[in-house]
Structure 1
Amino acid sequence: MVFLKSHDLADLVDGAVPPPSKTFSDGTTNPAYTVWLKKDTCVLSWLLACITEKLISTVYGMQTSKQVWDALHTRFSSPSRSRIALLRRQLQTIMQGNRSCSEFMEEAKNLIDQLAAAGKTTDDQDLISFLLGGLRPAFTSFITTFNFACRDKTLSFDDFQAELLTFETLIEAQHNSAPDQYYAFAANQKGKAPFFPRKPKQQSTTPKPLLPHKGHQDSSTTRPNQQAYDRPTCQICGKRGHVTLDCYHRFDFSFQGRLPPVDLAAMAVGANNSYDQNV
């Protein structure tokens, strides 16, 4: 209506000035009607270009701009309770789905305008609440932050719209940069073997038995069927279970001095006898 008033065309749709007669009484064409017809055709084409495909059936077959205007006014300004209840229900259950935030809010504004045409206005805070409830799960952090920031103050719908569109732009930028980071990582890892973290071994809680030192084998660790003669006797300390090279006291000369003297002559005779037997 503002556009029509700015061009002095509002009288074509509001009925303030009736259209002039098409011809005079003598049958000649009325020039005023020709001018009016041009203006009315211009407004009619403008109205038909603005409506959506869903409204084509409502204005189909109408010849003047006033007829189209009255049909649209009747449809969108019907004050029936059932229509108002339907519009409110659609507004309360509106969902974003896969649409952008701009398309989502455009649908909400359309419902708000229809309610306003029916004489039922909607508060900005109620509209914001309906929109927050219909956003996708990707906007959960925005919803939490917005509710926390607006506990003590109210935010206008224009400010809410600006914040929502800003957050949507940030999400899209992060989503677009994620594939680039993945490809960069794949390029750096080209030619390398895939890395699979090893599962840590579970340590056993059962204590392992302490094994005795090689040179100090305890008698309790020997098998029951092991014979006593299988264990060597050290010639330095005189203990069984290890040989002379493994004895801790092989370099302790004071310890060796306490051993009984060795009969070298007897050892030589024993060595000769063993040699003769072998020969």
Structure 2
Amino acid sequence: MVSIKLRGAENYLSWSALFGPIFRRYKLIGIIDCSEPCPAPFLCDSNGNRTSTPNPAYESWYEKDQNILIWLNSTLSEDILPFTVGVSTSRELWRILEQRFAAGSDTHIHQLRSQLQSCQKGNMSISAYFQKLKELSTALAKAGAPVSDRDLITIILNGLPDDFEAFVDAVNLCIDQTSVDELHGLLLSKEISIARKKKVIGSPAAEPWEFQGSHNFKGNFGNFNRNFGSFGRNNGNFNRSLNNGGNRGNSGNNRNQNKSGSGGNRNNFNRNFGTFDRGSSSGGYHPCQLCGSTSHQAIDCYDRLNPTVQGRVPMDKLAARCAHKINKPSPSLWLADS
């Protein structure tokens, strides 16, 4: 019938309050408060002498008393069960528990005040936190040391975690106009708001966007740099092959083959480069003046950052990097490096 177990003074009032309606509903309250005393076990004759005839009233009373005793024992925690040893009636057990946990002694009051002032919300919900503080404040009131609403509000606010810091500051500004019930409602709303924000922050959609291929990009970039260096070391052979290809496109420039094949004469290289372009029939770009490819312009060439190429083609002679794309290559539009 009662869903909670008696743990001690901290929840005695809540525990005992749950039994009140049960005792009144089944007309058992007289057994607990002694308004219905225990009748004699046996009947008496007309002279007042006890006979051996059982008293039906006693049997009815005893059945009720034992039922109450069973109910009380079933709601006691393991720490409280030792107090039930040797107890035979429900009234006796109720009196022992009342004296033990509802007494108004100074020691008991000090214990309740210490528990109240040190109470922290922690991982409890707002409802559970309020219930615990309410039980302690009610126990103090029962013991003759009631707690004012303002003191209780201060204790409630002091036990809240850092998530409620802004809320606590706002309530402190109007603490005189705030009741405990109003504070309870405000805290419930704040709890829902904090839970919603944490859910949004923790959702995958709110995570910062990351470039998933960043590690591969870095690895490939390193390979690119290594290959770039190899290309720079081999560019002399490339130049010789390119000049030879240009000479095959225009036999009139064969006189430059021996000189430019070694990569030592930049002027011959540029003239042969132009010859190669005129002999080419593919692509919509003029050949790149840095690497000779017809797939891009000089401004997009990777060799712009190659120190070996920059040393071979003077920086003040790279105006052709700004050349525009045209549909058909035209010798008349070629910008020679002279």
TM-score by length of 2: 0.50
User: What is residue 21 of structure 1 aligned with on the other side?
Assistant: 40
Structure 2 unaligned residues grouped into runs of 5+: 1-18, 44-49, 216-338
CA distance in 2, matches of 1:184, 1:87: 48
CA distance in 2, matches of 1:97, 1:132: 13
CA distance in 2, matches of 1:147, 1:62: 51
1:254-265 → structure 2 map (5 Å cutoff):
none
- Please list the CA deviations of residues 183-234 of structure 1 after superposition, one character each: whole Å capped at 9, or x if unmatched: 225697574538xxxxxxxxxxxxxxxxxxxxxxxxxxxxxxxxxxxxxxxx
Structure 1 unaligned residues grouped into runs of 5+: 195-279
User: What is residue 106 of structure 1 aligned with on the other side?
Assistant: 131
Q: Across the two proteins, how many residue pairs are aligned to each other?
A: 190
The answer on 1:193 being equivalent to 2:214 is yes
The answer on 1:164 being equivalent to 2:183 is no
Structure 2 counterpart of 1:63, from 70, 74, 88: 88
User: What is residue 221 of structure 1 aligned with on the other side?
Assistant: none
Whether the 8 Å CA contact 2:116–2:133 is kept in 1: the answer is yes
How far residue 40 of structure 1 moved from its aligned partner, in angstroms, is 1.7
More helix by share: 2
1:35-114 → structure 2 map (5 Å cutoff):
35-114=60-139
How far residue 85 of structure 1 moved from its aligned partner, in angstroms, is 1.9
Shift in alpha-carbon separation, 1:142–1:6, aligned structure 2, 3 A = same
CA distance in 2, matches of 1:174, 1:185: 11
CA distance in 2, matches of 1:163, 1:187: 33
Matched position secondary structure for 1:19: coil
1:129-208 → structure 2 map (5 Å cutoff):
129-148=154-173, 150-151=174-175, 153-180=176-203, 183-184=204-205, 189=210, 191-193=212-214
- Please list the CA deviations of residues 6-58 of structure 1 after superposition, one character each: whole Å capped at 9, or x if unmatched: 43211111112211223333323322122212222332233334444443333
How far residue 130 of structure 1 moved from its aligned partner, in angstroms, is 0.8
Shift in alpha-carbon separation, 1:5–1:85, aligned structure 2, 3 A = same
- Please list the CA deviations of residues 108-127 of structure 1 after superposition, one character each: whole Å capped at 9, or x if unmatched: 22222321221222212211
Shift in alpha-carbon separation, 1:187–1:157, aligned structure 2, 3 A = closer
Shift in alpha-carbon separation, 1:55–1:114, aligned structure 2, 3 A = farther
Please tell me the residue identity of whatever aligns with 1:20.
Answer: P
User: What is residue 126 of structure 1 aligned with on the other side?
Assistant: 151
- Please list the CA deviations of residues 225-279 of structure 1 after superposition, one character each: whole Å capped at 9, or x if unmatched: xxxxxxxxxxxxxxxxxxxxxxxxxxxxxxxxxxxxxxxxxxxxxxxxxxxxxxx
CA distance in 2, matches of 1:35, 1:14: 17
- Please list the CA deviations of residues 97-140 of structure 1 after superposition, one character each: whole Å capped at 9, or x if unmatched: 23222222222222223212212222122111111111111211
- Highest RCO, 1 vs 2 (Cα 8 Å, sep ≥ 6): 2
Shift in alpha-carbon separation, 1:133–1:54, aligned structure 2, 3 A = farther
Please tell me the residue identity of whatever aligns with 2:134.
Answer: K
User: What is residue 29 of structure 2 aligned with on the other side?
Assistant: 10
TM-score by length of 1: 0.60
Shift in alpha-carbon separation, 1:53–1:160, aligned structure 2, 3 A = farther
Whether the 8 Å CA contact 2:157–2:168 is kept in 1: the answer is yes
Identity of paired residues, percent? 31
Matched position secondary structure for 1:96: coil
Please tell me the residue identity of whatever aligns with 2:28.
Answer: L
Shift in alpha-carbon separation, 1:178–1:187, aligned structure 2, 3 A = closer
User: What is residue 268 of structure 1 aligned with on the other side?
Assistant: none
Instruction: Report the structure number with the largest CA radius of gyration.
Output: 1
How far residue 67 of structure 1 moved from its aligned partner, in angstroms, is 1.3
Matched position secondary structure for 2:61: helix
- Please list the CA deviations of residues 41-99 of structure 1 after superposition, one character each: whole Å capped at 9, or x if unmatched: 33223333444444333334422211121012101232222221222122122222232
Please tell me the residue identity of whatever aligns with 1:143.
Answer: V
